[in-house]
Structure 1
């Protein structure tokens, strides 16, 4: 069971490719990681970002898929429209099933993109995805709708060109899932914690891992909610390896 993350590198390892690989391992699948950008950041601050050349990202993807038979992938920070278009093309070329975490801003508030990427995501990537997992801010940018309530989230979910999970960390714990037009609301207790860096990365990578293990999309999402909740509660994603 092999999956792949295409995302940036967070040297503090709470988010990005390093976090994705830890989550893959914790849930029991082998993870490969393609790097789109290097960052100097920690849970509190983004210092700088250095993107990887688009051609080199393509070579990384081709190298991994030359060696491994991969079905499920996730994407995180893709940085630029050019990288987004490339990844969309690769999803088509290799017939990949992609979970898109449309990362635009770090948990600390730092901008992780070259430009406003909403148009590029909507054009090149989301129509090819099996799921996207925006937080409230990202969902607002992608749909051009303001989300202040459960009803707003449901309305926004109907504008996505793929199945969507709008996470509820900034909406009183209300997670809104729209799978093939069927709406499911899953409300979770919000924990007061300083251990929130990279929660979106870990959620989307957990979904991919559970999909690879044979769960359907809804079950994978529900299991991933529990995984991230326990990680926040325990203060360490690595402690979950023996518990999954």
Structure 2
């Protein structure tokens, strides 16, 4: 007999799952994702892909969790909770990511997956070199959204500009190109969705740099999807949540607040 909990028993809190690395500072990875999900009105579940030795300014090393152990963490959750929305962050390799996505789709063909392609730590540690284009295409075709920043977009698909790389990625899935690495008085993200371009802008803050901001944005978008928003609305709301997080203090570790969008 299955013990899966029907989400109708908990209508105010849908479940969403983050599959990401463990950051002891809680600024990035699973801990930051779950904080974002909870503050956004979603019950956050988590599975660990890597144990990192880091803080907000230093990255020493990473120990990868084997795929079988990642799957076991997830399987015990799926046996109890209905999960239709999943985010994947730090992962050991893209071939492993494809195996994981294929396995997730076998558990729930309707699951919607957001991938935040963590290729380099804030403190400078590089996780992945340029991926194989054919493998990248296969992965992207299984995603609801990919959320690279500008350097990540160029590493995923070398092009004349981050925008051009995002346009190429958008042939395979929706793309939210994060604009935090650009210059100018506003931080503008670009959502490429079904042939449409949506620009999402917020004032660039004088002390707005935060460890794990990409994790927060992708998790905030995931939360809004779990709450029923369409993708364009979810990205707009996720941008607003992240702007509040970036402006929460002058340190590299931001604060989370209960979303006013609930």
TM-score, normalization: structure 2? 0.85
Contact in 2 for aligned 1:85/1:120 (Cα 8 Å): no
Deviation of residue 117 (structure 1)? Answer: 4.2
Rounded to whole Å, the distance in 2 between the matches of 1:188 and 1:56 is 40
Structure 1 residues 41 and 52, CA gap change in structure 2 (3 angstroms): same
Question: Aligned-pair distance for 1:124?
Answer: 4.3
How much does 1:116 deviate?
4.2
Post-superposition offset of 1:106: 1.3
More displaced stretch, 161-170 vs 232-241: 232-241
Query: In the alignment, which of 229, 241, 244 is matched to residue 258 of structure 2?
Result: 241
C-alpha displacement at 1:184, in angstroms?
A: 1.3
User: Which contiguous aligned blocks of 4+ residues in structure 1 show a shift greater than 3 angstroms?
Assistant: 115-121, 236-239
1:170 to 170, 181, 199: 181
What is the number of residues matched between the two proteins?
238
Q: Residues 121 and 64 of structure 1: is their aligned pair in 2 closer, same or farther, counting only changes over 3 Å?
A: farther
Q: Secondary structure at the match of 2:20?
A: strand
Tell me if structure 2 keeps the 8 A contact 1:7–1:16: yes
Paired residues of 1:6 and 1:76 also in contact (CA < 8 A):
yes
Tell me how far 1:242 sits from its aligned partner: 6.6
Report SS of the residue matched to 2:141: helix
Q: Which has the larger radius of gyration?
A: 2
Selected match of 2:124 from 86, 90, 109: 109
Contact conserved, 1:80 with 1:117, CA < 8 A, in 2? no
2:248 touches 2:255 (CA, 8 Å); kept in 1?
A: no
State the Cα deviation string for residues 49-74 of structure 1 (Å, max 9, x = none).
00001111121122211111111111
Q: 1:238 to 1:27 in 2, by over 3 A?
A: same
Deviates more, 1:130-139 or 1:90-99: 90-99
2:208–2:247 Cα contact (<8 Å) kept: no
Residue 232 (1) aligns with residue 249 (2): no
Q: Deviations over 1:10-43 (max 9, x none)?
A: 0100000000000011001101101110000111
Further displaced range: 205-214 or 75-84: 75-84
RMSD: 1.9
Please say which of residues 188-197 and 58-67 is displaced more in the overlay.
188-197
- Once the two structures are TM-superposed, the CA of residue 90 in structure 1 deviates from its matched residue by 2.2
Cα distance change on mapping 1:239 and 1:200 into 2, 3 Å? closer
Q: Pick which of 27-36 and 74-83 moved more.
A: 74-83
Classify the secondary structure of the residue corresponding to 2:87: strand
Structure-1 residue corresponding to 2:22: 9
**In the alignment, which of 49, 74, 80 is matched to residue 36 of structure 1?**
49
Q: Which moved more, 1:121-130 or 1:176-185?
A: 121-130
Q: Does 1:19 align with 2:32?
A: yes
Match of 1:67 in 2: 80
Q: Per the alignment, do residues 169 and 195 of structure 1 end up closer, same or farther by CA in structure 2, a change over 3 Å counting?
A: closer
Could you tell me whether the CA contact under 8 Å between 1:88 and 1:124 is conserved in 2?
A: no
